[in-house]
Amino acid sequence: MNSMDFDVLFIGSGHAAFDGAVPLGLNGQKVGVVEENLVGGTCPNYGCNAKITLEEPAEISHLLKQMAGRGLAAQTMNWHDTMIHKHEIIKKMPALIESVLASGQVKIIRGHARLQDAHTVIVDGQAYTAEKLVIATGARPHELAIVGAEYLHDSQDFMSLAEIPAHITILGGGYIGMEFATIALAAGAQVDVIVRHETILANFYQPFVTELVASLKAEGVRFIMDTDVEKVQAQGANYLISGAGDFALETYYVLNATGRVPNVENIGLDIVGVQYNAKGVVVDEFLQTSVAGIYAAGDVVDKQVPKLTPTAIFESHYLAKLLSGETTAPIKYPYVPTVTFTTPRIAMAGVTPDEAAAHPDVYEITENNVRDDWYRQVRNENFGQNILVFDKAHHLVGITEISDRADEVVNAVLPAMEFGWGPAEFERLPMLFPSITASAFGQI
C-alpha cells in the first residue's frame, strides 16, 4: 500500500498535465495537480482557444472581403463585440477543465509548488508527497531587456484589450507576431511589425512565408526588418520606439512577441538536482529528468519537437501509459503538425520541402497549385499551393501548404502519413463530396 499522498502529482494543470492526469485517475491511481493560476493553463485561457475566438472572426471578415461583390459584402470585425464573445466562451474554460479533472478523481491543489525532495512538493507551506512527480510548469513570455520594457504588452494583455488601439506595433516575426498582426488588421488597426533579423516564421517554408508577408503588406501591414529595438518611451498616451541608427516610430501600443521561455525558476530544481538549461528541463527518452521518479512534459521540456499543444497532449498521454505500467517503451513522437493561424494559413507536418530537396535519393516532391481548384474558387480564394513529399515507396511523409484552409488539409492527410497509407489504401476511401478533404486527397 502506497503511504504517499499521491501516486502521481503534476506541477501545473495545462495540457501537459490534465490530459494524462485523468486517464491515470480513471486507472485507479491517486493523482493530483498543483496550479497557481487558472486551471487548464495557457492554451485554453490565454493561448490557442482564446486566440482562435478572435482569429475566426478575423478570418470570416477576410472571407467576406474575398466574396464582396459575389453576393456578400465586406465587413470589418468589431473588436469590442468580438471581445465580449471571447470572454463569454473563454471564462468557462477553467470550470470545464476542473470538471474533466473531477471525472478522473484528480485532486486540484491551489498555490505555488516547489520541490523539496524527489517525493515532496511544498505548496504555500503545506507538504504533499508523491511516488512520481511530473513537472508541467509550461512557459511564459520572453521579457526584452530594454529601456522602457515596462511599456511592453504580452499576448495575454492583447487578448484582454477592451478596444483595439488605432496603431499597434508588434516586436517579433514568429507565430504570435504574424497571428496577432492578422487579428489586429481585421479589427481595423494600423499594424507595424518590427523584426530583429531578416527572417519571419523561421521554421516555415520560406517561399510560402514570402507570399504570406506580401499578402499582409498588401492589406496594409508594414514590416520593418533588420531592426533592433533599444528603447520605448512614453509620450503622453503614445509611445516612441527607438533603435539602432536613427530608427524611431510612434505608436499607441507595443506587443512584445519575441518568444516564450520555460518556467524553470523558483520550483526547486536546483535543490533536488533536476538538470535544466535555457530551453527547459532536460529529459531522457522516457521523459524522465536527471532525478529518478521526476518526469517533465509540455512546454517546460528542452526538446526537438515543436512546443505546441499537440505535443503537450501526446507527452501527457505517454506519461499516463508509462506511469501506470501500460508501456515500458521510450516515447516515439508522431508527426507533429503545426499551422500559423493567419490569412492565408501556412500549415505543415513531417519532412519539409527543404529537407526533401537536400535528399533526392530518399524523397520525391510534388508541387500542386490548389488555388485554381474549382472548390477553392467557390470562396474566391487568392492563395493556394502545397508541396507533398513522398518516400520512394510513394508513401506521403511530408506536407506544407499555404491556403485559407491549410490547417484542415494537413489534418486530413495526417493519418495517411502516420500509418503509411499508399495508393491502395486511398482507393478504399470514399470521401464526402464536395469537401476540402476530398480536394486534398485528390492530389495524393
Ligand X SMILES: Cc1cc2nc3c(=O)[nH]c(=O)nc-3n(C[C@H](O)[C@H](O)[C@H](O)COP(=O)(O)OP(=O)(O)OC[C@H]3O[C@@H](n4cnc5c(N)ncnc54)[C@H](O)[C@@H]3O)c2cc1C
Binding residues: 172-179, 259, 299
Nearest distance, CB of residue 439 and ligand X, angstroms: 23
- Best CA proximity match to 411, nearest among 390, 436, 393: 436
Please report how the helices 15-26 and 309-323 are oriented relative to each other, as an axis angle in degrees rounded to 10: 30
State the Cα–Cα distance between residues 346 and 353, nearest whole angstrom: 13
Binder of residue 106, out of ligand NAD, ligand X, none (CB less than 5 to 8 A by kind): none
- Among ligand NAD, ligand X, none, residue 177 binds (CB under 5-8 Å by kind): ligand NAD
Stretch that binds ligand NAD, among 193-201, 276-284, 388-396, 434-442 (CB under 6 A): 193-201
Long-range contacts of 366-371 (CB under 8 A, 24+ apart): 366/390, 366/443, 368/443, 370/401, 370/403, 370/439, 370/443, 371/403
Mind giving me the DSSP string for 310-364? HHHHHHHHHHHHHHTTS--SPP------EEE-SSSEEEEEES-HHHHHH-TTTEE
Is 405 a binding residue for ligand NAD by CB under 6 A? The answer is no
- Position with the least CB separation from ligand NAD: 174
Burial of residue 31 (number of CB atoms within 10 Å: 0-12, 13-18, 19+): buried
Check binding of 177 to ligand NAD (CB under 6 A). Answer: yes
Task: Check residue 135 and report its DSSP letter.
Answer: E
**Residue in the block written with cell 515596462:** 150
In the complex, least distance from residue 307 CB atom to ligand X, rounded to whole angstroms: 5
Cα atoms in the Cβ-side hemisphere of radius 13 Å centred on 194: 23
Q: How far apart are CA 93 and CA 149, in angstroms?
A: 31
Compute the least distance from the CB of residue 290 to ligand X, in Å: 19
Q: Is 175 in the site for ligand NAD (CB under 6 A)?
A: yes
Binding to ligand NAD in span 337-376, by CB under 6 A: 338-341
| Closest to 121 (Cα-Cα) out of 243, 214, 6, 226 | 6
Instruction: Give the interface segment with ligand NAD, choosing from 63-71, 167-175, 245-253, 411-419 (CB under 6 A).
Output: 167-175
Pick from 14, 138, 173, 298: which binds ligand NAD (CB under 6 A)? 173
407 touches ligand NAD by CB under 6 A? no
Kindly tell me which of 249 and 319 has the beta carbon lying closer to ligand X. Answer: 319
| Closer to ligand NAD by Cβ: residue 261 or 282 | 261
Q: Which residues are annotated as a binding site for FAD?
A: 299
* Binding flag, residue 176, ligand NAD (CB under 6 A): yes
Residues 286-315 that bind ligand NAD (CB under 6 A): 307-308
Chosen from ligand X, ligand NAD, none, partner binding at 11 (C-beta under 5 to 8 Å by type): ligand X
User: Could you give the CA distance from residue 190 to residue 186 in angstroms, rounded to a whole number?
Assistant: 10
Partner that binds at residue 172, options ligand NAD, ligand X, none, CB closer than 5 to 8 Å by kind:
ligand NAD
- Residues whose CB is less than 8 angstroms from the CB of residue 20 and which lie 6 or more positions away in sequence, other chains included: 10, 134, 297, 315, 316, 317, 318, 319, 320, 323
Torsion angles phi and psi, residue 391, rounded to 5: -85, 180
Q: What is the dihedral of CA 23, 26, 29, 35, to 10 degrees?
A: 60
CB of 342 to ligand NAD, least distance (A): 9
Shortest Cβ 308–ligand NAD spacing (Å) = 5
340 touches, from ligand NAD, ligand X, none (C-beta below 5 to 8 Å by class):
ligand NAD
Q: How far is CA 195 from CA 179, 186, 222, 228, 255, in A?
A: 14, 21, 11, 8, 12
Query: Cα(253)–Cα(184) distance, rounded to whole angstroms?
Result: 11
196 binds, among ligand NAD, ligand X, none (CB under 5 to 8 A by kind): ligand NAD
Query: In the complex, which residues of this chain contact ligand X (CB under 6 A)?
Result: 11-17, 34-37, 41-43, 47-48, 51, 112-113, 136-138, 155, 176, 263, 267, 298-299, 307-310, 312, 341
Q: Which residue has the cell 497557481?
A: 36
Q: What's the min distance (Å) between Cβ of 406 and ligand NAD? A: 12
Q: Which is nearer to ligand NAD, 108 or 224 (CB)?
A: 224
Which residues of the chain form contacts with ligand NAD (CB under 6 A)? 144, 171-177, 179, 195-197, 257-260, 307-308, 338-341
